[in-house]
Structure 1
Amino acid sequence: MSFGDEHGYGGDSGRTDDGFGGTGQTRTRLPDGRNGDMYGGPRRPARGSRSLITVVGVVVLLIAAIAFANRGGGGDTSGGKGAAAEPGAEPTAATGVKPVTGKNGEIPSGFARNEQGAASAAANYAVALGSDGMFKATSRQDIIRASHDPATAEGLLSDLDRAYSPGFLTNVGLNEDGSTPAGLTFVSRTVPVGTKVTEMSSTTATVEVWFTGLVGLAGEGSTKPVTATWSTLTEKLKWIDGDWKISSSSQTEGPTPVNGDNRASTADEIAKAVQGYGGFTYAR
């Protein structure tokens, strides 16, 4: 579960592309040593037939709906110090600040009112918004209300309810109510790789979250295999009632690394892995 690609994020949320992961074949490009380029020359252009799973990606429907909030103008972030000039990476490491212990439903809450707290909130929200809970109405409402500015949450939910229509859910391989067909395991996860705070003030923050996402149906007989995506989510946060909340978001594709030589696992292996390994929260 993607937070643009060629199909866009707006009115294309309910596309009915049949690919959902393409042919299932894995192609590996090996270095050919031309001009000393370890990647084998210029990168090939993206395939024109983007699969449905890439359209959905990790959180594309969320971002499509967040356009509702953007149309309203969003919050005033002019009080920030502005974009940082080539900020350096800040590794996730012990900082002396205790991680948050509160929860709003299943989502951590009570983030610190500083750069660390904003980065942690953005990463945690990316995980929640990319989860399989977004595909069911009740849990989707809980996730949106826990992570978003109340001023935009209800309008966002209305857009999402239309986006996650019964027709869309069946197109991604689920039942009309968002449940998973018997014998299969639905996978939708976001795994943050790193965060970068680009703007910061006492009441607003802008945080970029670079992440990889897994989405698809695992299990014997699945026609929509689990695939991986890479994206960067930019979240504009506001300090509201003692915590950071999302006021608006946008997404870009990549940076995407070159695929390694790992053998693609079977559908059964993926299903067992998803059932056996729980996801993480990123409070620090």
Structure 2
Amino acid sequence: MSPGDEQGYDYAETGQTRTRLPDTDPYGGAPRRPHRSSSRSLITVVGVVILLIAAIAFANRGDGGAKEEAVGKTDKPVTSATSASGTRPVEAKSAGVPTGYAHTEQGAQSAASNYAVALGSTGMFNKDSRRTLLHLLYTAEAAARLQDPMDRAYSAEFLAKMGLDADGNPPKGNTFVSRVIPIGTTVQQYTADTAKVSVWYVGLIGMAGSASTDPVTSSWKTWTFSLRWSGGDWKVDSQTQQDGPAPVPGDDRAATSDEISKAIQEYGGFTYAR
């Protein structure tokens, strides 16, 4: 989440829906008539069960060595477009943000996911923490180029619109919410030292409080990062955002401000890995 979402700021330029129909009754909805058991049918069933047990035992005995050998040779689980890699993304953090990613496509995707979380956090609404994130996550050239535009974007007027004071603090008794929760990533382009990664995410932003006029709402967006390998890590060189793809809203009851505040305080975030 960023002021680019609220103001259309130029540094963060700014969907298909599938409806699942209920499954029909596989038995056609009609009750099946029970059949009278006989000694012949009983013998048949017992014979089938015995053969099945024997087949399972034989299969397990025959595949055991191969399975153990395969597990021993496999360093990580087989992956697909939507499954996790099982690879630990990073070993360290800087300013609370995971850093030190692998110089690979997976490393670039993990970096983009965690950078989206950091850049969509409440830390971006405070000048000091925003500049720390800017110089930590961006290339030196991009940080120098974007610092002043970002400071202007997060102006006192914008913060006041969000219900915050000039330092980005909410009124006493209120909880300001700004979170990005990645749903998935995809690599648009990749070379040895550059990557273009899109992060599909759901964002939460707003003020939870009894007197709030800006309640917490959710939005679905895609955040695309152009990354460069610099200083032994992936760094953001540029970025764009677009709306969606957004699913059909459900029929969930909207939580109260107190429930949202309690959830934000109790539920921590994650370190994301591809």
TM-score (normalised: structure 1): 0.69
**Partner residue, 1:250:** 240
Task: Determine if the alignment matches structure 1 residue 270 to structure 2 residue 260.
Answer: yes
**Partner residue, 2:134:** 144
Q: Give the whole-Å Cα distance in 1 for the aligned partners of 2:11 and 2:111.
A: 28
Q: Give the whole-Å Cα distance in 2 for the aligned partners of 1:160 and 1:10.
A: 10
**Partner residue, 1:122:** 112
Preserved contact between residue 3 and residue 251 of structure 1 (Cα < 8 Å): no
**Partner residue, 1:207:** 197
**Alpha-carbon offset, residue 282 of structure 1:** 0.9
Task: Determine if the alignment matches structure 1 residue 9 to structure 2 residue 42.
Answer: no
1:93 to 72, 78, 84: 84
**Partner residue, 1:113:** 103
String of CA shifts for 1:226-270, please: whole Å, max 9, x gaps.
Answer: 000100011000000111000000111000011001000111111
Preserved contact between residue 190 and residue 211 of structure 1 (Cα < 8 Å): yes
**Alpha-carbon offset, residue 4 of structure 1:** 7.6
**Partner residue, 1:217:** 207
**Partner residue, 2:51:** none
Q: Give the whole-Å Cα distance in 2 for the aligned partners of 1:174 and 1:7.
A: 16
Preserved contact between residue 224 and residue 239 of structure 2 (Cα < 8 Å): yes
Q: 1:248 to 1:140 in 2, by over 3 A?
A: same
**Alpha-carbon offset, residue 183 of structure 1:** 0.8
Preserved contact between residue 227 and residue 236 of structure 2 (Cα < 8 Å): yes
Where does the alignment leave 5 or more consecutive residues of structure 2 unmatched? 14-18, 22-78
String of CA shifts for 1:120-167, please: whole Å, max 9, x gaps.
Answer: 000000000000000001110111111100112022111111111111
Preserved contact between residue 130 and residue 190 of structure 1 (Cα < 8 Å): yes
Q: Give the whole-Å Cα distance in 2 for the aligned partners of 1:146 and 1:12.
A: 18
**Partner residue, 1:63:** none
**Alpha-carbon offset, residue 9 of structure 1:** 2.8
**Alpha-carbon offset, residue 6 of structure 1:** 9.8
Task: Determine if the alignment matches structure 1 residue 184 to structure 2 residue 174.
Answer: yes
Preserved contact between residue 89 and residue 272 of structure 2 (Cα < 8 Å): no
Task: Determine if the alignment matches structure 1 residue 234 to structure 2 residue 234.
Answer: no
Q: Give the whole-Å Cα distance in 2 for the aligned partners of 1:238 and 1:127.
A: 18
Matched residue pairs, number? 212
**Partner residue, 1:161:** 151
Structure 2 residue matching 1:176: 3-state secondary structure: coil
Where does the alignment leave 5 or more consecutive residues of structure 1 unmatched? 14-36, 40-87
Q: 1:201 to 1:155 in 2, by over 3 A?
A: same
**Alpha-carbon offset, residue 3 of structure 1:** 8.4
Between structure 1 and structure 2, the one with the greater Rg is 2
String of CA shifts for 1:39-93, please: whole Å, max 9, x gaps.
Answer: 9xxxxxxxxxxxxxxxxxxxxxxxxxxxxxxxxxxxxxxxxxxxxxxxx962342
Preserved contact between residue 203 and residue 238 of structure 1 (Cα < 8 Å): yes
Structure 2 residue matching 1:197: 3-state secondary structure: strand
Q: Give the whole-Å Cα distance in 2 for the aligned partners of 1:263 and 1:123.
A: 29
TM-score (normalised: structure 2): 0.72
Preserved contact between residue 12 and residue 240 of structure 2 (Cα < 8 Å): no
Identity rate, percent? 50
**Alpha-carbon offset, residue 10 of structure 1:** 2.7
Q: Give the whole-Å Cα distance in 1 for the aligned partners of 2:193 and 2:206.
A: 38
> What value does the CA root-mean-square deviation take over the aligned residues?
2.5
Preserved contact between residue 204 and residue 239 of structure 1 (Cα < 8 Å): yes
